[in-house]
Amino acid sequence: MTGAWADTAYLIAGVCFILALKGLSAPRTARLGTLIGASGATLAVIVALTTPHLKHLGLIIGAIVIGTAIGLPTARRVRMTAMPQLVALFNGVGGGAAALVAAVEFLRPGKDISHAATADLAAIGFTILVGGVSFSGSLITFAKLQELMTTRPVVLPAGRWLTFGFAGAGVLFAVFLVPWPSSALLALLAVVSLVFGVLFVLPVGGADVPIVISLLNAFTGLTVAASGYVLGNTLLVIAGTLVGASGTLLTRMMAAAMGRPLTGTLFGAFTATAGAVGGGGDGAARPVRTSSPEDVAILLGYARKVVIVPGYGLAVAQAQHTVREVADLLTARGVQVSYGIHPVAGRMPGHMNVLLAEANVPYESLLELEAANSELASADVAVVIGANDVVNPAARQPTGSPISGMPILDVDLAQQVVFCKRSMRPGFAGVENELLYAANTSLLFGDAKESMSKVLAALKAQ
Amino acid sequence: MSSTAWLTVFVLAVFLGFEVISKVSSILHTPLMSGANAIHGVILVGAIIATGSTDDNLQLAIGLLAIVMATVNMVGGFAVTDRMLGMFAKPRRAPSSTETSSASSTGGETK
């Protein structure tokens, strides 16, 4: 396709992307939105492939086939609990691709780099810098979520200065690229940005990783926009900017849902680690009421209304199917069961809804924060499975706690509270949960899936 | 296109990006992020154009690698987003759906 036709087709693709994002913002239109987005992307690729005088068409199509053969089965087969890290990985390769495109344009011999326009060189520098950060940063978030490395914040000695140093060097090299463009400087910039990406994500703790993925997603959008400028392609500029802007807003919304300012998420580990690590030790000696799966089964069997509060631990243990079986059994015996879903339960906002939907939990029984809290006030038993910070009453204190001000599920309003936990360790925020020591709280220690299986067996035996 | 024209496109797209997702429920944060992630896979278009206009072997190799990576981003991104949303849709019965499906769902619940 040539000239005006190609531009029109790109415009249609751009409109598709806008409609896709719009559609994804409402539950009823979300799937249609994805379809529209994919159609727009397909159209854009066909237009690109029919560009006049395109060389190496066979190799290009071969590369697309390889990419599809890697991407499609991975997306189809991945377990839903591993989905956040897959999104991170996809985002990383996208950012890497944008940086590579910029590198190709920079190395192009036909285009004398010493005479290339200032704005082009600035855009290339920006793409390499931010695309590199997005690539290596996303790989680290993948490693954290896949538990290939610790999910706790990693703070290197003098980490803050190292991070700022590499950030400064990256910006400096990108700026130097404009007056002194050379391949050596480009390579140096690429290395520095890759290292900075690693340093940027290392100090972020496991629970905050989703926010960083969202931020890196916005970064990749901006690099795509910048490489679109270098190539003179309006579609890339529009699509990249759309993702950059909406991704930034989404990042802020996610951070707000977790009740933490964005800067605290990104740089919090540098200042807060001492307090967070110290929190765990002193509480361990205090008496708590442990209970057996049989006790819990009896408690649940005699309840009229039960609210289940699932969290990160449930996702990790893959306990959603077992929990659903327990809920089904209770429902069959006339117990009213619902699920209280905190906006940030799981590993990403909305992640818990996906996991429970996978286990065939009826959509109607998933209650959002406010509805769940009004149910909890009249509930006989609240069962907290693998969650801690999102039910910690310390968040109600206006100040003085890292989770202050975060909206929580009021499980303490229920008559009885059962905590299914692996250990007494505080939640990710490192804040002691007073509720664990309350008189009406019983603790069921162990892996969420094993514990719930035992509860299920005990219920069946009743 | 002049620099001002590019800037215009950029600025308008920023506002549009803020506007389109301003009213999204927290349940949809993850699929929305994944969908946006798939959309920036459109860098594939840039990778194809850059690769298809070079004769140098090094640039060709870099370009082809970019194509593979961009395709993974785009194809995988849309596929995983659709799968996520499919899981929301499955257990859900629209109130206004056909009589047979609502009848079968209520029938299933009472048993």
Looking at residue A345, which CATH number applies to its domain?
3.40.50.1220
More confident residue, B84 or B97: B84
Residue A277 has pLDDT above 70, yes or no: no
Residues A264 and A386 in one domain: no
Nearest chain A residue (CA) to B31 = A24
Q: How confident is the model at residue A347 (pLDDT cuts 50, 70, 90)?
A: low
- Determine, yes or no, domain membership for A177: yes
Amino acid in position A343: P
- Determine, yes or no, domain membership for A281: no
Token pair in block for residue A254: 């996610």
CB contact under 8 A, B38 and A229: no
- Determine, yes or no, domain membership for A329: yes
CB contact under 8 A, B31 and A30: yes
Token pair in block for residue A150: 């610790």
Q: Which residues in chain B are contacts of A124 at CB distance < 8 A? A: none
Q: What is the interface size between A and B, counted as CB pairs within 8 Å?
A: 370
Residues A124, A117: Cα–Cα separation, whole Å: 11
Q: Which residues in chain A are contacts of B67 at CB distance < 8 A? A: 60, 63-64, 67, 97
For an interface test with A, the pick among B3, B30, B106 (most A C-beta atoms closer than 10 Å) comes out as B30
pLDDT score recorded for residue B92:
42
CB contact under 8 A, B50 and A76: no
- Determine, yes or no, domain membership for A87: no
Nearest chain A residue (CA) to B9 = A238
Q: Which residues in chain B are contacts of A257 at CB distance < 8 A? A: 26, 29
Interface check B1 vs A, CB under 8 A: yes
Instruction: Output the average pLDDT for chain A.
Output: 86
- Determine, yes or no, domain membership for A185: yes
Phi-psi region of A416 (alpha: psi -120 to 50; beta: other; left: phi over 0): beta
Q: Widest CA span of chain A, in angstroms?
A: 83
Catalytic site includes residue A389: yes
Rg (CA), chain A: 25
In this prediction, residues A301-316 reach a mean pLDDT of 88
Q: How confident is the model at residue A274 (pLDDT cuts 50, 70, 90)?
A: very low
CB contact under 8 A, B42 and A44: yes
CB contact under 8 A, B64 and A67: no
Residues A230 and A343 in one domain: no
pLDDT score recorded for residue B18:
93
Which residue from B6, B53, B76 is facing A75, i.e. has the nearest CB?
Answer: B76
Residues A138 and A208 in one domain: yes
Say which residue the tokens 């029984």 belong to.
A365
Nearest chain A residue (CA) to B34 = A87
Residues A117 and A222 in one domain: yes
Q: What is the 3-state secondary structure (H, E, C) of chain A?
A: CCHHHHHHHHHHHHHHHHHHHHHHCCHHHHHHHHHHHHHHHHHHHHHHHCCCCCCCHHHHHHHHHHHHHHHHHHHHHCCHHHHHHHHHHHHHHHHHHHHHHHHHHHHCCCCCCCCCCHHHHHHHHHHHHHHHHHHHHHHHHHHHHCCCCCCCCCCCCCHHHHHHHHHHHHHHHHHHCCCCCCHHHHHHHHHHHHHHHHHHHCCCCHHHHHHHHHHHHHHHHHHHHHHHHHHCCHHHHHHHHHHHHHHHHHHHHHHHHCCCCHHHHHHHHHHHHHHHHHCCCHHHHCCCCECCHHHHHHHHHCCCEEEEEECHHHHHHCCHHHHHHHHHHHHHCCCEEEEECCCCCCCCCCHHHHHHHHCCCCHHHEECHHHHHHHHCCCCEEEEECCCHHHCHHHHCCCCCCCCCCCCCCHHHCCEEEEEECCCCCCCCCCCCHHHHCCCEEEEECCHHHHHHHHHHHHHHC
Q: Which residues in chain B are contacts of A21 at CB distance < 8 A? A: 17, 20-21, 32, 35-36, 39
The answer to whether residues B29 and A353 touch, using CB atoms and an 8 Å cutoff, is no
Residues A235 and A102 in one domain: yes
Lowest-confidence pick of A279-293, A407-421, B75-89: A279-293
CB contact under 8 A, A54 and B53: yes
Q: How confident is the model at residue A226 (pLDDT cuts 50, 70, 90)?
A: very high
Residues A268 and A290 in one domain: no
Give the residue among A56, A61, A138 at the shortest CA–CA distance from A97. A138
For an interface test with A, the pick among B40, B48, B85, B104 (most A C-beta atoms closer than 10 Å) comes out as B40
CB contact under 8 A, B26 and A257: yes
Give the residue among B65, B61, B50, B59 at the shortest CA–CA distance from A64. B65
CB contact under 8 A, A68 and B31: no
- Determine, yes or no, domain membership for A410: yes
DSSP code, position B62: H
Residues A412, A373: Cα–Cα separation, whole Å: 10
Residues across chain B: 111
Measured between its terminal Cα atoms, the distance across chain B in Å is: 67
Residues A346 and A440 in one domain: yes
For an interface test with B, the pick among A43, A55, A90 (most B C-beta atoms closer than 10 Å) comes out as A90
CB contact under 8 A, B80 and A86: yes
DSSP code, position B97: S
Domain that holds residue A49: 1-77
Instruction: Summarize pLDDT for A131-175 with one digit per residue, the tens.
Output: 999 999 999 999 988 878 876 777 777 778 888 999 999 999 999
Label the pairing between strands A336-340 and A305-310: parallel
> Which SS3 state, helix, strand or coil, does residue B24 take?
coil
Residue B70 has pLDDT above 90, yes or no: yes
Q: How confident is the model at residue B104 (pLDDT cuts 50, 70, 90)?
A: very low
Residues A362 and A451 in one domain: yes
pLDDT score recorded for residue A392:
86
Interface ipTM above 0.85: no
Residues A128 and A242 in one domain: yes
Residues A178 and A247 in one domain: yes
Residues A217 and A345 in one domain: no
Q: Which domain-ending residue is among A273, A296, A317?
A: A273
Residues A152 and A247 in one domain: yes
Nearest-neighbour CA in chain A from B96: distance (Å): 13
Domain count, chain A: 3
Out of A7, A112, A295, A389, the active site residue is A389
Give the residue among A372, A378, A379, A390 at the shortest CA–CA distance from A435. A390
pLDDT score recorded for residue A113:
54
